């Protein structure tokens, strides 16, 4: 197990998709930014101290409206400085957004670590995921019934 991994498997990051009304909007915004920038990255103030464990197969999981709903595989980190000399970090991701089975997650700021055992599974049906296409109300009912 890599240094810093919890419970076996890669260490992941979780981040709020601030301003995204749904997964489709998150997908559109991330795709547009990838085209504009020529690469897929997410800005954050602090570089993860456990970056090696995250780079061993970890993903950036997105919380949309109180639910983890999607992820991007993390491919690297790049430390930079702004015009005032303040450091920041870019989380480099694979551009493909993979839908996950929804999982509740409380609001927070910045990002959080998440162990492999706590990460939601990918939605059935590949990256587009059938479960990710269901209406929010139906997903909530399925969760209440313990079916997802």
Q: What is the pLDDT of residues 110-141, one digit of tens each?
A: 999 999 999 999 988 755 555 445 666 776 67
User: Quick check: pTM over 0.85?
Assistant: no
Q: What is the mean pLDDT of residues 80-103?
A: 95
In the chain, the N- to C-terminal Cα span, in Å, equals 29
Q: What percent of the chain has pLDDT over 70?
A: 81
Dist CA 7 CA 39 (whole Å): 31
- The alpha carbon of 127 is separated from its chain's Cα centroid by a whole number of angstroms, namely 14
β-pairing, 12-16 vs 111-114, is antiparallel
């Amino acid at each position: 197990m890599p240094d810093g991994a919890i419970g076996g498997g890669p260490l992941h990051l979780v981040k709020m998709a601030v301003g995204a009304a749904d997964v489709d909007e998150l997908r559109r915004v991330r795709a547009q930014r990838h085209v504009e920038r020529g690469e897929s990255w997410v800005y954050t103030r602090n570089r993860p101290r456990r970056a090696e464990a995250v780079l061993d197969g970890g993903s950036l999981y997105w919380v949309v409206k109180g639910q983890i709903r999607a992820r991007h595989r993390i491919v690297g980190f790049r430390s930079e400085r702004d015009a005032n000399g303040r450091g920041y970090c870019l989380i480099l991701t694979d551009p493909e957004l993979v839908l996950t089975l929804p999982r509740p997650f409380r609001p927070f700021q910045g990002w959080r670590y998440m162990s492999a055992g706590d990460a939601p599974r990918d939605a059935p049906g590949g990256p587009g995921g059938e479960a990710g296409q269901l209406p929010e109300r139906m997903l909530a009912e399925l969760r209440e019934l313990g079916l997802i």
